[in-house]
Amino acid sequence: MAMTDLLSAEDIKKAVGAFSAAESFNYKKFFEMVGLKNKSPEDVKKVFHILDKDQSGFIEEEELKFVLKGFTPEGRDLSDKETKALLAAGDKDGDGKIGAD
């Protein structure tokens, strides 16, 4: 399954472009811009599984660094600071990874 099976290619392009500058990534705005806020929990889980490159059931810090590339190959890598902020926002139990729930 490709990301564009779930989200609009145009929305992905706009969102990735909006955060192309280093240190500009805002996960709340990004996920809103790509349309995830309007998706069902099932569709959000499908996006999660696409981003979970090693299919471990979790998105670890190393996978988060490349989250924009998970939406489109043209995406940039997140900085360490941006990656840690995204991990902190999604890691509800403090285990250093984000689960699908």
Name residues whose C-beta falls within 8 Å of residue 62's C-beta, 6 or more positions apart in sequence. none
Q: Confirm whether residue 32 is marked as ligand binding.
A: no
| Two tokens, residue 24 | 């500009």
CATH number at residue 60: 1.10.238.10
Which pTM value belongs to this model?
A: 0.91
Q: Confirm whether residue 77 is marked as ligand binding.
A: no
pLDDT digits (tens, 9 = 90+) for 7-57: 999 999 999 999 999 999 999 999 999 999 999 999 999 999 999 999 999
Residue 46 lies in a domain: yes
Domains contained in the chain, number: 1
- Does the structure show a pLDDT above 90 at 99? yes
- Does the structure show a pLDDT above 90 at 101? no
Name residues whose C-beta falls within 8 Å of residue 101's C-beta, 6 or more positions apart in sequence. none
> Could you list the residue range(s) of the whole structural domain that residue 68 is in?
7-93
Q: Confirm whether residue 8 is marked as ligand binding.
A: no
